Amino acid sequence: MGPRRIIALTAGAVVTVITFVVMMGLLIFGGMVAEDRVIFYASLALGPVAMLSVMSGYAVWWMILFLLSLFLPDEKRDDRM
């Protein structure tokens, strides 16, 4: 795996985890629901929160990989041809 993919994969993973933690924190500590039902509502929202965090991580991975491919030279360029 090349350095471009490692950078993009790391950034995407970091964004995924941060988005998931922030969204679950806002959901649990937001004070929108009664105290006795926080766990129930948080467990219902776990799927959509995970989906949105993975989608944002994938978008960051794709965007960084795209930008690095524009600005960095080609990794496997062979001038012998």
Question: DSSP of 12-73, one letter per residue?
Answer: HHHHHHHHHHHHHHHHHHS--S-GGGHHHHHHHSHHHHHHHHHHHHHHHHHHHHHHHHHHSP
* pLDDT tens-place string over residues 11-23: 999 999 999 998 8
pLDDT grade for 54, boundaries at 50, 70 and 90: very high
What residue segments make up the domains of the chain, in order of their start? Answer: 3-68
The whole-number pLDDT of residue 76 equals 66
**Residue range 58-70: mean pLDDT, rounded:** 91
Report the C-alpha gap between 73 and 47 in whole angstroms. Answer: 40
Q: Are 5 and 61 in contact, with CB atoms under 8 Å apart? A: no
Which has the higher per-residue pLDDT, 5 or 44? 5
Q: Are 6 and 71 in contact, with CB atoms under 8 Å apart? A: no
